[in-house]
Amino acid sequence: MKYFETLYIVNPNFEQNRLDTIIKDVEENVGKFSKVISQNIWGKKRLAYKIDNQKYGTFVLLNFETDEGSKIVGFESYMKLNTSVLRAQTIRLKSRPVETVYEKPIPLDDENKLKQSIEDEGKIDKTSEDSSANDESAEQVKVEKTNVIDEAEPIAESVDTETEQK
């Protein structure tokens, strides 16, 4: 058996009913040539960059097993042609995936908590730096000046340009 994992992003503007039908369609398409092991909806997440003018997407993880690896190409083309799916990527796994169910998705609008945790980490780092700076037994570090190369200066090449032009 060959094991595969597909992560796909669905348009975030769809209602739950439309999202369920898209997920069922994808599952039926995979079911034609394989057995679905698990399917997890990760929920709506912010994208790193806009895809089809969308800042957010609904992420779905699909694990399946098959003996027919040649059918994966057809499945990938189906995912590319499906206008409801923003992006999809399928990878082959070395071993059978563990069936996990995500009961509680990570909340999307907890940016304040994220910012607070980042600030807390920064405070911890600053206090550790301050404590080492006040320690008299700490060794002083000698800082050397470094020369900054001006962007206008030519950089010497180690390759002979005459032999490369022939």
pLDDT in tens, 89-110: 999 998 888 776 554 444 544 5
Stretches where the chain sits below pLDDT 50 are 103-106, 108-109, 114, 117-118, 120-121, 123-135, 149-150, 153-159, 166
Q: Hunting for tokens 């962007």 — which residue is that?
A: 151
Which pLDDT score, from 0 to 100, does residue 65 have? 92
Tell me how far CA of residue 153 lies from CA of 49, 79, 83, 156, in angstroms.
36, 50, 51, 9
Q: Could you tell me the domains of the chain?
A: 2-93 (3.30.70.60)
Which pLDDT score, from 0 to 100, does residue 128 have? 43
Q: Residue 105 in contact with residue 45, Cβ under 8 Å?
A: no
Which pLDDT score, from 0 to 100, does residue 140 have? 58
Which pLDDT score, from 0 to 100, does residue 133 have? 47
Q: Residue 37 in contact with residue 96, Cβ under 8 Å?
A: yes
| pTM of the model as a whole | 0.59
Report how far Cα 35 is from the mean position of its chain's Cα atoms. 25
- If DSSP codes are grouped into helix, strand and coil, which group holds residue 22? helix
Which pLDDT score, from 0 to 100, does residue 63 have? 93
What CA–CA distance (Å, rounded) separates 62 from 136? Answer: 57
